[in-house]
Structure 1
């Protein structure tokens, strides 16, 4: 294999395969104008890959800060040490984050960089042999070229179609679950409540109430958006491959879970901190209210018995699931507004549940009745004029 040449004469796929077959150790450098990729091999296996310094630094910072692996201040100190001592970020990070996380981040950079290089159609390449190559094999694990090429070819083929199906990379994206001015602090459960992460968030409760179940790759993207990021920043920040993140962005845009928006000013209006405190106080007070009063259901009436005749089991189960969904929606509404809704339709108007979700399996609206600080939630069953086939949450005994 020639040690240098043009990609138009010898494509990147053939170059990778040749290096593997010959079991070479060294560094392949690809250059196209200002773009640069370096891939390091050990006996034909890929151990490391990097792009331009600015691109790699943006990815490292985005992942570390957005996933709370380091704070903004810690990153500033890390960058200063990197610039002053000219030490690689991975060497500095080895002292600050867990080894398994470091392995994950390096592997992700290598894979994304190799996949990116496989989309190159032009540019120059040069392979330099390295004798006595030394590297930290505890964090830089050799990767099989064939496995990377197989998946890389698929992604290289699908990438252009995927990119053209979403807004441009510099488009600012925000979450669109709770409201226009959604804030991560309002998406969390009340102070002191057990659980953390997406499944402990108000966003999770709202989406599950709507019947929306997110894939792990969707959650990885949703968790790093914060108060908004560009598409490129999202790709750099999520703890997964760029292609997986791009697919997740497309899916959630289609579901209207996220949306393009104008970038907000970095400086918040005066007094916003006080407003946040007010929200937190309200949430804490709601916990006290829940503990003191509880959401009690009225026996309606106590002598009523369920009648299974004429109702299939599957419809019963669907009705119970629908009632539970609305019950959860009531709790979400109470958290957001500090009071129960005036009617079940308020849950629809605020986007907590859809219109379809307030109808039971027999296409009749679920019934919500209020009395003082209590409510009763039920389905009228197959017949709207019979009380004996009504379905309650919880079931009447």
Structure 2
């Protein structure tokens, strides 16, 4: 019996949770007015995904062409070989020495993730899951747990609005900013680069004398270095996404961080002349973003570990499935709350460094533009509680029951 219905009634999160927990094998087909997508599962893990949007734009062969790894003529030739021999496209690419096996595996996983993440944006459409034997490139495909996809989709949903303030269109073109400032940042001296962004006199100071202690904390990430090397004043955001092969979100996020650090800017724009208050606001904003990068990566790893450790095999009974789904949704909320509490602690440290005093309330962090208003409210709709005793900062949440002093309370603290 097939699982089918409307996406507005039973969303992608519910569908993936159900298939993942019951370890189903089969094909999920999703259709809308704009696209048709198929997602292949084996034992509850995602092993393939294809979109037929605008003439198969996200199929593997087209991705390789747009990345300039093969030509249109190469693709036509290997597709002809595939049709004649029935071999997998990946096998032919490796056999013809067009792509290395390791690179192909990464590209296939990227294609699968990008295709699945796009589905989470759908508000309307139909879905149908059929339990059938599946056929995919097992030699070059690493199965992806549904839990990992769900957590990654949450991260994208959380960060995309901020990123899109800067990277608002895929036709935007960016260019490198002042080369001296860029060289300092690429050397790892991010704090000096930020200072140089607002104070030209800083350019004459040596790298050794400025921000040496911060060099280890805020180097450019691998993705940021890659995108910076590709920015040339001519390539659009879409072209950078295609040739970088790190995905649309990671490319856009790297561009956002590079713009925030003053290393690149949109073609046709020049760095604005800022007043003192605006300079202070920009400094705090950039420092907040940079300080959260490493913490966020660690938190995401911990989240994925928690989900793996908490997997409960479905018993095949509707009651057990419903109970497990409720358990996992609550776990997601708890992990999200802990992540936000850690962010509040980090924001409190930044506040202390900027003002040489402790925040008296969460509103102080909002007024200083270190946090947004929605970042001081927990997943259950209650405001977090901030306490400062001596040099110890504590953040608390009452949890699902919204009552203090019960078993589901959450706590995070740090000492300055």
With the length of structure 1 as denominator, give the TM-score of the two structures: 0.52
What is the 5 A alignment of 1:278-357? none
- How far, CA to CA, are the matches of 2:163 and 2:233 in structure 1? 25
**1:249 deviation in Å?**
0.7
- How far, CA to CA, are the matches of 2:264 and 2:36 in structure 1? 33
Residue 78 (structure 1) aligned with residue 74 (structure 2): yes
SS at match of 1:41: strand
Equivalent residue, structure 2, for 1:149 = 150
Unaligned runs of at least 5 residues, structure 2: 194-218, 269-416
Equivalent residue, structure 2, for 1:302 = none
**1:175 deviation in Å?**
3.0
- How far, CA to CA, are the matches of 2:265 and 2:36 in structure 1? 32
- How far, CA to CA, are the matches of 1:136 and 1:2 in structure 2? 25
Q: Which has the larger radius of gyration?
A: 1
Does structure 2 retain, via aligned residues, the 8 Å contact 1:220–1:240? no
* Residues 142-201 of structure 1 deviation map (CA, whole Å, 9 limit, x = unaligned): 12111221121221233234223423122123333549xxxxxxxxxxxxxxxxxxxxxx
Equivalent residue, structure 1, for 2:139 = 138
- How far, CA to CA, are the matches of 1:125 and 1:230 in structure 2? 34
What is the 5 A alignment of 1:182-197? none
- How far, CA to CA, are the matches of 1:5 and 1:245 in structure 2? 34
**1:205 deviation in Å?**
6.9
Equivalent residue, structure 1, for 2:43 = 43
SS at match of 2:27: strand
Unaligned runs of at least 5 residues, structure 1: 180-201, 263-397
* Residues 320-352 of structure 1 deviation map (CA, whole Å, 9 limit, x = unaligned): xxxxxxxxxxxxxxxxxxxxxxxxxxxxxxxxx
- How far, CA to CA, are the matches of 1:170 and 1:78 in structure 2? 27
Does structure 2 retain, via aligned residues, the 8 Å contact 1:27–1:128? yes
Does structure 2 retain, via aligned residues, the 8 Å contact 1:175–1:228? no
SS at match of 1:140: coil
SS at match of 1:126: strand
* Residues 264-288 of structure 1 deviation map (CA, whole Å, 9 limit, x = unaligned): xxxxxxxxxxxxxxxxxxxxxxxxx
Does structure 1 retain, via aligned residues, the 8 Å contact 2:174–2:232? no
SS at match of 1:55: coil
Does structure 1 retain, via aligned residues, the 8 Å contact 2:58–2:115? no
Does structure 1 retain, via aligned residues, the 8 Å contact 2:171–2:238? yes
- How far, CA to CA, are the matches of 2:183 and 2:66 in structure 1? 24
- How far, CA to CA, are the matches of 1:214 and 1:62 in structure 2? 26
Does structure 1 retain, via aligned residues, the 8 Å contact 2:82–2:92? no
**1:10 deviation in Å?**
0.6
Equivalent residue, structure 2, for 1:294 = none
Equivalent residue, structure 1, for 2:63 = 59
- The count of corresponding residues between Structure 1 and Structure 2 is 231
Work out which of the residue numbers 240, 244, 255 in structure 1 matches 2:261.
255
Does structure 1 retain, via aligned residues, the 8 Å contact 2:2–2:131? no
- How far, CA to CA, are the matches of 2:7 and 2:171 in structure 1? 29
- How far, CA to CA, are the matches of 1:177 and 1:32 in structure 2? 46
- How far, CA to CA, are the matches of 1:37 and 1:236 in structure 2? 20
- How far, CA to CA, are the matches of 1:165 and 1:129 in structure 2? 43
